[in-house]
Amino acid sequence: MRTLDIVRFPARTLPRLLVASACRAPDEVFLRFVDPAAPEAPPRPYTFSAFADGVGRAAAFLRAAGLGPGTRLLLLADNSPEWQMLALAAQALRAEPAALFASLAAEPAQGIARRVAPRVAFVSSAAQWAKLAPVAAELAAAGLAAVVAAAPLDPATVPSGVRAVPLRDVTGVGAPGLHLEQLAALADAAGEEDPFLLLFTSGTTGRPKGVRLAQRAIVHAIDGGNSAVGTTESDLGLHFLPFGHVAGHDQFALALAQGHGLVMVARRKDLERGLALGPTYVFSVPLVYDRIRAAVEARLAALSPPLRALARAALASAARVRVDRRAGLLDRTLKGVADRLVGRAVRARLGGRIRGLFAGGAPASPGLFRFFEALGVPLVELYGMSETAGLISSNLFAGPRRAGAAGLLTPDHEVRFADDGELLVRGPLLLSGYLEPEDEAGAFTADGFFRTGDLGRIDGEGFLHVEGRKKHLMVLSTGKKLSPEPIEQAIAAAPPFQGAVLLGEGRPFVSAVVFVAAEELARLAAAGKDAAAELLPRARAALGAFSDFEKPKRLLVVPGAPQDHPSLVTPTLKVKRDALVAWLGAAVAELYGGGAGRAEA
């Protein structure tokens, strides 16, 4: 079976890879930080040498604060260079950094902080500290010695015996620190089984699990990415995936190891500032690319009918040439029209130098893949999860890519499928274990294979296809079974839908909750049209490749996109099905009970 080619890095921990890059290219710019606190200022540059110096200063402080093997650093902060300086310093000290999503609400943040019991905490603002302050005394009793803060904290909220230290006194240029040689000695003492990171799963069902990853896991992950994504030292990546997400670390670690630059953006609202700096690639969840595609669709809809028809025909021809490898004269001619009418504008919006787009964290729809590939912009999908350090398989930048496929498997995983189709993996990318041993119950087979929870298959070319979550497998009262995710993706990829969630467990037919922009719903209302009745045929039309029993017979329409309803999504923007059903309440029963507020096919 064909697998990813592997190009291994000689150093096998991130602290050693940092030292190697700082020695090899000390004056090359590693990070350009788009600082949300300085919206008018140019990005802050950090060379590899300057970044390593910051890690050395952080290591000196953390060591003096008592951080070392068996202790933890809690990070509840927006992305920044200092976030990684502190995390890498903790890793060099063989301590365990624990990453929380900065978007977490106070209650879940407090619950995780109690479980982590940190020696040192880092917060990026007083608002972040306000989430933890109510349990600060508990944390102090459990060993918290210092809080590093990027903004001043109210002294009354900091317990006695806990130091509140300004970030500038820890990583700033004037702070005392370790020289590169001293940092290298620390790095050499850290081994492959020492901690890389403690991450927390998104928690779509139940309590988030604490996933403990070793250095060997992240380095094996970037070994695989090294060849799959095709980046080199001359690349400049746009980085904005949060450090609470393993994919944000995969991109950062690969750039650190390869020695290429990153434009670091802390807030999604600053993406345009980052793109203006001309990155050569972007790594994102598909949602960002869907928005770009939706903006293009909106512009096309505003064209005159003849020009709109020409543009859409040209895009279809470009997809046939570049994706389906057809070579008819008309299609090749119209491909050039698509490049001029659409491709130039898309490339300009992406900064003008883009070589490829990489997608992870959620599946990319086949329609999204065909759109960008039609314009000559490779869309490279990767697949993994927190427990596998973010990598199980990947499509190739300089090689075959398949719409709807998760790519070729890394040879660092042994792979097999359970009788019910669940993907099982074993190998060096796997987690060291969970924070609480009880979370490991049922996570592994008797011979050590990790149960991914994903249903999948491998095709004749060696490409992995992920066909839904095992726990989401839907069984209708008719006995028919279906995986909702591919159906939801197909609906969400069709205008004007911005998301979809299938319903129907134990029911005689499938219904769908669809998310639609409020502006579109207002337009339908102004025209005197019922939104559910108008949109149901469009949802079903997007499902031409599916069986009739898999297509929704009724719709429930929710204004806005899923991310416009924070209580319904995880920090990685996955819809919480149980929370959605509870929020909709009686409206779900109404879908199956008859009456107003629904449309039926």
Would you state the structure tokens that stand for residue 560, as one six-digit string?
């806005």
Please report the pLDDT score of residue 118 as a whole number. 98
Q: CA-CA distance, 255 to 220, in Å (whole number)?
A: 14
Would you state the structure tokens that stand for residue 200, as one six-digit string?
């927390």
Residue with the larger pLDDT of the pair 595 and 456: 456
Residue 594: pLDDT band by 50, 70, 90 thresholds? Answer: low
DSSP summary character for residue 364: P
Instruction: Kindly state the average pLDDT of the residues 128-145.
Output: 98
Q: Residue 442 in contact with residue 451, Cβ under 8 Å?
A: yes
Q: What percent of the chain has pLDDT over 70?
A: 98
How many Cβ atoms sit within 10 Å of the Cβ of residue 156? 6
Please report the pLDDT score of residue 107 as a whole number. 92
pLDDT digits (tens, 9 = 90+) for 374-418: 999 999 999 999 999 999 999 999 988 998 899 999 999 999 999
DSSP-derived secondary structure for 530-585 = -HHHHHHHHHHHTTTTS-GGGS-SEEEEEES-GGG-GGGB-TT--B-HHHHHHHHT
Interacting residues of 136 by C-beta distance below 8 A, sequence separation 6+: 144, 157, 158, 159, 162
Query: In whole angstroms, what separates CA 186 from the centre of its chain?
Result: 31
Go through the domains of the chain in sequence order and give each one's CATH number: 14-280 (3.40.50.12780), 286-352+354-471 (3.40.50.12780), 473-593 (3.30.300.30)
Q: Residue 333 in contact with residue 354, Cβ under 8 Å?
A: no
pLDDT digits (tens, 9 = 90+) for 281-295: 999 988 889 888 888
Please report the pLDDT score of residue 601 as a whole number. 60
Q: CA-CA distance, 426 to 428, in Å (whole number)?
A: 7
Q: CA-CA distance, 585 to 181, in Å (whole number)?
A: 61
pLDDT digits (tens, 9 = 90+) for 556-591: 999 998 888 888 887 777 788 888 888 988 888 888
Q: Residue 378 in contact with residue 396, Cβ under 8 Å?
A: no
Please report the pLDDT score of residue 205 as a whole number. 53
Q: List, edge to edge, every strand of the sheet that includes 210-214.
A: 163-166, 146-149, 120-123, 72-76, 96-100, 195-200, 210-214, 433-434
Please report the pLDDT score of residue 78 as a whole number. 96
How many Cβ atoms sit within 10 Å of the Cβ of residue 427? 18
Would you state the structure tokens that stand for residue 452, as one six-digit string?
């991914």
DSSP summary character for residue 412: T
Residue with the larger pLDDT of the pair 430 and 591: 430
* Strand, coil or helix: 407: strand
Dihedral over Cα of 202, 207, 210, 211: its sign: negative
- Say how many residues make up the chain: 601
Q: Exposed, middle or buried: residue 11 (CB in 10 Å: 0-12, 13-18, 19+)? A: middle
Residue 553: pLDDT band by 50, 70, 90 thresholds? Answer: very high
pLDDT digits (tens, 9 = 90+) for 473-494: 888 878 787 888 889 988 988 8
Please report the pLDDT score of residue 203 as a whole number. 58
Residue 55 reports pLDDT greater than 70:
yes
Q: CA-CA distance, 288 to 296, in Å (whole number)?
A: 13
Would you state the structure tokens that stand for residue 474, as one six-digit string?
């839907």
Q: CA-CA distance, 387 to 210, in Å (whole number)?
A: 10
Please report the pLDDT score of residue 201 as a whole number. 87
* Strand, coil or helix: 208: coil
Which run of H or of E encompasses 17? helix 14-24
Residue 568's closest CA among 585, 554, 583? 583
Interacting residues of 281 by C-beta distance below 8 A, sequence separation 6+: 229, 231, 235, 236, 237, 238, 354, 355, 356, 357, 358
Interacting residues of 477 by C-beta distance below 8 A, sequence separation 6+: 506, 507, 508
Please report the pLDDT score of residue 206 as a whole number. 63
Instruction: Kindly state the average pLDDT of the residues 188-216.
Output: 90
Q: CA-CA distance, 394 to 312, in Å (whole number)?
A: 30
Residue 13's closest CA among 278, 291, 218? 218
pLDDT digits (tens, 9 = 90+) for 6-37: 989 999 999 999 999 999 999 999 999 999 99
Q: Residue 335 in contact with residue 317, Cβ under 8 Å?
A: yes
Residue with the larger pLDDT of the pair 262 and 207: 262
Instruction: Kindly state the average pLDDT of the residues 114-122.
Output: 98
Would you state the structure tokens that stand for residue 488, as one six-digit string?
């939801």
b or e along 575-589 (b: 16 or more beta carbons within 10 Å of the residue's beta carbon)?
bbbebbeeebeeebe
Sole residue written with tokens 């070392």? 68
Would you state the structure tokens that stand for residue 207, as one six-digit string?
């309590």
* Strand, coil or helix: 439: helix
Q: Exposed, middle or buried: residue 478 (CB in 10 Å: 0-12, 13-18, 19+)? A: exposed
What is the CA angle 512-513-516, rounded to 5? 125
Q: How far is CA 535 from CA 64, 132, 134, 441, 571, in A?
A: 62, 44, 47, 43, 29
Q: CA-CA distance, 329 to 334, in Å (whole number)?
A: 9
Please report the pLDDT score of residue 544 as a whole number. 84
Instruction: Kindly state the average pLDDT of the residues 173-194.
Output: 97
- In sequence order, what are the beta bridge partners of 380? 358
Average pLDDT for the chain: 93
Q: CA-CA distance, 386 to 390, in Å (whole number)?
A: 6
Which run of H or of E encompasses 48? helix 48-64
- Taking the alpha carbons at both ends of the chain, their separation in whole angstroms is 44
Beta strands in 292-427 (DSSP E): 356-359, 379-383, 393-394, 407-409, 414-417, 422-426
DSSP summary character for residue 596: S
* Strand, coil or helix: 308: helix
Please report the pLDDT score of residue 595 as a whole number. 44
DSSP-derived secondary structure for 451-469 = EEEEEEEE-TTSEEEEEEE
pLDDT digits (tens, 9 = 90+) for 229-279: 999 999 999 999 999 999 999 999 999 999 999 999 999 899 999 999 999
Residue 598 reports pLDDT greater than 70:
no
Residue 596 reports pLDDT greater than 50:
no
DSSP summary character for residue 159: P
Q: Residue 69 in contact with residue 94, Cβ under 8 Å?
A: yes
